[in-house]
Structures are given as C-alpha cells and as structure tokens.
Chains A and B, each alone.
Chain A
Amino acid sequence: MPLSVSDPTWYPIASSEDLPFRHVYQGQLLGRELAVWRADDGNVNAWENRCLHRGVRLSIGINEGQELKCQYHGWRYANRSAGCTYIPAHPADAPARRIENRKYPVREAYGLIWSAANDDLPFTGFPGAEGGDWFALRPMPVNARPGDVVAGLAGLAPDDQPADVMQGLSVRLGNIVYFVQPVDADRAVIRGLLAGKPADPIATLRHYNEGLTKLRDRLEKAAARKPVPEKLSPIFEKVSADLASMPDIAIPRGATLPVVVKRKWQNADGVVSFELADRDGRHLPTFQPGAHIDLHLPNGLVRQYSLTNGPGDLMSYVIGVKQENASKGGSKVLVESVRAGDVMAISEPRNNFPLRRDAARTVLIAGGIGITPLLSMSRFLDQSRLPYELHYFTRSGESAAFSSELTALHGRVERHVGLARDAIRARVSQALGPYEFAHHVYICGPGAMLEMVQEVASGLGWPDEAVHFEYFQNDKIIDQSSAFDIELARSAMTLHVPAGKTILETMRDAGLTVPSSCEQGACGTCLTTVIEGEVDHQDVYLNKTEKASNSCMMTCVSRAKSGRLVLDI
C-alpha cells in the first residue's frame, strides 16, 4: 500500500528519552519535518520544524523551558499553543498574538512519543498495549521504504511462529512489538517495545541493537538495488491571512470565551486570586507579558484584570483581585459571589502594556495589586535570563500577594513594606537612578503612586518613552460639559457630540463598530489617531508627550477644546 501524506494513523516519532528538558528533537513523519520538545511542565510539543519568519529550522532553536526561541531572529513561540509571543524590533513590541506555528497531535505513551499527520483519528495505542510494562529499544533509522522495512521485520520470525503484522506498520514478534515510523517514502525508523523490563537492560539493548543493525544493513543493500521512490510532498498551507495579520482594530466587544473558575483563594490580606481554565481542558490563547483580560461579571459589569502567568503557561490564567470596601461593584461581586466551579466569560488577552525585551536595564515598580502585570513581566524576563529589578511596595498590615511566586524568581526582587509616602519616593528615586540609554521602567499601582513615580523619573531625566505605566482605573472626574463636532475621515461622516455623551457613544449611535474596553480612559483599547483639532484629554493612559502631541486620544473619555476634531476612523 503506498504511503499517503494524509494518513491519519498514529505513529511513534521519538522515544521519551529523546526529549530531555531544554532540548529540541528533530523528527519527521510522512515527509513533514517536526520540531519536538518537552516544556518544563512536562508537556510535549510537536510542531512544524520551521520558524514562521524565514523558515529557519526550530530544531536548532533554543528550548527555554516554556518558550522555544528561533536561533536566528529571536522569534519566540509558546509551549502548548505555538503562538508567537515575541518578534524582535516589531513595532510596539507586540506581535499579532494569534500568529501560531503549525502543531501536530502528540501523545506520550509506553516510553514513546506518538504523532499523526492530522487529528482525524483518536489515539488508541495498539492492541494489548494497556496494562503492559513496556521497555523501549534503541530506535534504528533505515534508508529503505517503510513497507519493505515491515516485510523485513516480519521475516525475522521463526517459521513455526509467524509474525503478526498489525495495523499502522507494526509487527508483533513474540514479546516484542516493532513499529515502523514512515519518515518519508524512502526512509523509516524501527521503534521496538519489549514487554517488561529485562533483568540486564544494557545487554538486552545491545542484543536487539545488533540484530536490528544487521537487518538494516540487509534492507539498505536491497534498497540500493531498487529505484528511488519519489519523496512524499506534503502541502504546507500558508498561515491564513486572518491569523498572520495584526488583530483587527475593531475587536467587536463581546467576543468572549467561556472559562471555569478552577480555584479561588485568599492570596494575601485583601487579595483574592482566581484561576481560570478552559472548560474542556484545552489551553487558553497565547498572551504577552503585561496583557489583561476583560472579565464579564455576574452583575453585567466588565472589568480588566492583568494576567500573572509566565511564558507558555496556558493551561489556566491566574489573576489577583483586590478586595475594596469602596468598590463600585466590580471586585466586590467577584470576591463575594463567584466560586470555584462557576463558568465566566472572558475576552482574549489584550496587551496595552507591552514589555520591551531589548532593554539594557529594566526596572519594575509595583504598588499593591499593581504587582500582577509586573509578576508576569518578571517571569518572562526570568525565563529569558534578562536582567531586571522588581520593587514591590505594599502598605503596612497588608501582606504581599503572590509571595511564593516572587520567591521563585531569579532576578533582583525587593519588597518594601509599610513605607511612608516620602520614604517610597526616596526609595523609588534610588531604584531608578539617573536615566541612561536603553533603560526602561514599568509601573503599575494606585494612581497617586503612578504619578509620583512618573514625576521622580522625569526629575531624574527619564524621557517619557522610557517610562511605561498602567493604571487600574481612572480616578479623575470626567468633565463631559463640552459639545463639539467630530469628522470621521475614513468613514466620511460628521457627527455632533453633545454635552453628557462620549465620542464613543456618539459613534456607536451612528452605527459604527469601534473597540473599547474599560470606558474610563485607563486601558488604551479605544486609542484613536487625531488628524486635526485640539483634544481635551481626560484619560490616564497616554503620557504627557503623547497628550501634548495632539495626535491621538481615547474616545471613551476625552473631548475637544476646539469646535471640531478630525479623527482617523
């Protein structure tokens, strides 16, 4: 029977021991080359063996434990999803999170790694596999047609005990099952499983290795006399334009995915953590350090929470929620009424707080619950062995959240508890030091602290573009008294924004689909380019320079000082 590139049968493609931690195994099945690697969480990934950038082999990439880094251009792909998490020198340092390398189904069983060309068949092992204690022999690559290799193995059987040729190019010979991995039309690997661990493993392995070597030599001699079969040529579909492009600006609000609350626990005094997982046990979408999700709360509110996860950690998202007495209903309902086992809706992760990984020095400053995005950033920097300093300020009486996670980090982590305002200021100033080229600081915490750190940084000569911050909320009182016109340049529409109504609402009323998330000028989702006019900024997302440039605005809270604004929408 000729080999088919779309054969859905599961074949072994490696031995378990071929995949030590931090190694990338180079395999091949039915003409498709595979990069196979074990992540630090034990998960085995079988991916198409090429970086999406220029097709460089990922089998020569670096297995960083949770991400695989392309050796040549530094693109990174996450464990489980194969989602691209980082593209060096990419504008905004934020690649399209949905770019994913091609994955193949993979299983680890009986000391072997199994894969298939597609997902058409479930993995079933082989007849009699269950309950057996299997011992993997040394694999034997053979330059011969897989069908001929099966015949060769069957020929090893004694006359009175003919071999049992089974489905999936496998042959049972007494207490051994041999599988023939169809590498290509002219190449195969013999992978043997012995029932039960032998008394002298080395001697046994040598014995079978010698036998298979002789068989290989015979098969290769015979193959050399036959015409060379045509190689299998799998068709590699291009990554769809939808996946390869940056996510559309107009992410329609309401595109959500259901998750189950796997765990809810008191993380620290005043901080409750939630672990959210896919209902069917699949991995969640790839995210970037600093990313947040929108959480749809039972009372209809939508709130943003930063992910604390490290790279390639996609089996669940962990968020931290501060219990606030004066809560407007967001954290309160979450803390009080949501329990483990509940199903909730979340958005795909979005990143408005991107981390640069080309900095000479990275300083992370967290205040209280502001630790959450910075914990994620620390974990990414940690895995990439990039230097960073994390300063975590908490109030007295309140214990630090994510304590054990912080202890596991290798970078410089300093906790500052119960400092007075002036002392925090002095400590921040000391931590920052005078600005130098390629230094970057990331700040997340309460509004007052963010403003103070920005002020201190500015005083030490740090330019705005080196100071990155994320507010949890906009505490400012929004002045909605102005009335003005907006001209939407791309939509060829002019709309009037009356007092008391936001630009965003006005545009939605006119039938436009425009993205937004927090709707309080904090998250940056509705960032819009301004072509003409003077903006009355009321957000906390843009920095001073950006505000002064008059070239962009948040349509959810900002208004106009001029009678008219021309927007690039």
Chain B
Amino acid sequence: MTITLYDFELSGNCYKLRLMMNILNLAYEVVPVDFFPGREHKSDWFLRLNPFGQLPVLQDDGLTLSDSGAILAYLARKYDASGLWFPKDAAVTAEILRWHAIADDITATASAARLALGYDYDFDIDKTQKGAHRIFRIIDEHLWFGEKQGRDWLCSPAHPTTADIACFPYVMLSEEGGISRQDYPALRRWTDRVRRVPGFTVMSGIFPAGPAR
C-alpha cells in the first residue's frame, strides 16, 4: 500500500511531510495540488478530501489524514522503529504537542508574511512580521539555554523529534516574508543541525548545510 501525499511544492507544511518521510526512508506518491495561483485546495474535489481546505493531505492504509502536525505524529508512531521521533513518554509527548502548536503559530505569522509578500495574500504584513519576531525571540532563548544545558533540539536532549520538523520550514523560509534571523543566533545554529539530520531533503529556499566537524 503506497502512501499518497497531496502536495504543493512550495508549501512549508507539505515539505514537513516530505522531510519526515525522507528521514524515515518511506516511499510515497505525490498528487500535485495547484495551491497558487490555481487555489485548487478550495476546489470541490479537494474539499471532499479535507473540508478545511488545507494542504497537506496524506492517504495511507485507507485513511485520509490532514494537518501537518497530526500527520507527523502519525508517520513517526507508525513507521519510526526507533521510537525517537515521537517518543511515548507522557512528558515528552506533551512537550512535542506544545511545539506543534507553536509551529502553527509560526505558520500564522512567518508563513502568512511570506504569503502576503510572495503570493498576493491579503494579510497585515507588519503584524505578521512582528508576531514572527516575538516567537523567534522565545525560540532563540529556549535553544540558547538548551545549548548551555546540553540540549540540541526543541524537546529532547539527544535526538530531534517531530517538533523540530514542524517548526523548521517556516523558520528557514522567514526571509521570504521579510523576517531576518540575524538577531537569533541560537535559532540559526539549530537550523544547521536540522539540515544535518540524515535523510534531510531540500525544497526551494531550504538548502543543506555542510557536514559538521
């Protein structure tokens, strides 16, 4: 049974799933959805898949799933034999879900600014940019103290989780929304680490880092 991803190449939320599936070495098929300029995610056939009219959608084993964070958790629980990407520990699960919610906040701010600047979306650019900076400041501080305490990732000390995958793309794409990462050195170092995860894959605007020493 093949996994099918309803995908828009330039969507960070779709990329999260391509990235996760690449890391987990899963084969999948892609059904391209013309999000821009075609607005195909609001077409009748797509709304039948996902009434919320949002990408991505993933089909697997007769299931039709939506919401990138939920799908990340599904993929990790089902296909990650190591159990490290979405650990069963109750405290870590809570932490990961907290960061999945922050990933949605990043989407609502940094990604919205990008949509306004690059995709003709009618959002308040100033407000979305300020919102992104507010979140980036918090993440930078969290990661800075994490480094001091020997934690390289958002939730767990030694291994990335779906939280890192969920937060990563729209941080990397923030410049497209006019949001500089200059003031967030720890955040920038974290993006280097994510880009060095074995199985890392690229999308337009997100490139690999060289290997660490």
Contact = CB atoms under 8 A, between A and B. Distances in A.
Given A60-B207, A71-B207, A141-B183, A22 B145 contact: no
A138 B212 CA distance: 24
A506 interface: no
B77 interface: no
B34 interface: no
Given A22-B210, A64-B210, 12 more contacts: A20-B212, A22-B192, A23-B192, A26-B181, A27-B182, A62-B209, A71-B207, A138-B141, A138-B145, A201-B148, A205-B148, A385-B211
Interface residues of B, number: 19
Nearest to B184: A141
Interface residues of A, number: 30
B82 interface: no
Nearest to A25: B185
B213 interface: yes
Contacts of A25: 185, 188
A20 B189 contact: yes
A18 B207 contact: no
Interface in A2-16: 14
Interface string A132-144: 0000001101000
B182 A23 contact: no
A28 interface: yes
Top 5 nearest A-B pairs (CB, nearest first) are A141-B183, A62-B210, A21-B213, A26-B182, A18-B185
Contacts of B145: 138, 202, 205-206
A217 to B, nearest CB: 11
A205 B213 CA distance: 28
A63 B196 CA distance: 13
Interface of B: 141, 144-145, 147-149, 181-183, 185, 188-189, 192, 207, 209-213
A202 B209 contact: no
A64 B211 CA distance: 8
Nearest to A17: B147
Contacts of B209: 22, 62
A65 interface: yes
A396 B19 CA distance: 54
A28 B181 CA distance: 12
14 contacts: A18-B189, A20-B189, A21-B213, A22-B212, A23-B192, A28-B182, A33-B182, A40-B213, A60-B207, A62-B210, A65-B213, A71-B207, A138-B144, A209-B141
A28 B180 CA distance: 12
A470 to B, nearest CB: 30
B108 to A, nearest CB: 22
Given A202-B149, A205-B148, A26 B188 contact: yes
A25 B147 CA distance: 16
A566 B189 CA distance: 60
B60 to A, nearest CB: 34
Nearest to A187: B183
A101 B181 CA distance: 23
A384 B20 CA distance: 27
Nearest to A62: B210
Interface in A199-253: 201-202, 205-206, 209
Contacts of A189: 183
A205 B183 CA distance: 18
A65 B183 CA distance: 24
Nearest to B133: A143
A387 B47 CA distance: 49
Interface string A56-89: 0000101111000101000000000000000000
A21 B209 CA distance: 12
A385 B148 CA distance: 31
Contacts of B210: 22, 62-64, 69
Contacts of B189: 18, 20, 23
Contacts of A385: 211
Most buried by B among A17, A69, A189: A17
A139 B186 CA distance: 11
Nearest to A385: B211
Most buried by A among B145, B147, B149, B185: B185
Nearest to B148: A202
Nearest to A189: B183
B183 to A, nearest CB: 4
A206 B149 CA distance: 12
A401 to B, nearest CB: 27
A135 to B, nearest CB: 12
Nearest to A68: B210
Contacts of B213: 21-22, 40, 65
A189 B183 CA distance: 9
A14 B186 CA distance: 12
B211 A22 contact: yes
A553 B183 CA distance: 57
A30 B181 CA distance: 18
A65 B212 CA distance: 9
B185 A14 contact: yes
A17 B211 CA distance: 18
Contacts of B192: 22-23
Nearest to B180: A26
Nearest to A20: B189
Nearest to B210: A62
A26 B141 CA distance: 17
A58 to B, nearest CB: 13
A21 B181 contact: no
Contacts of B185: 14, 18, 25-26, 139
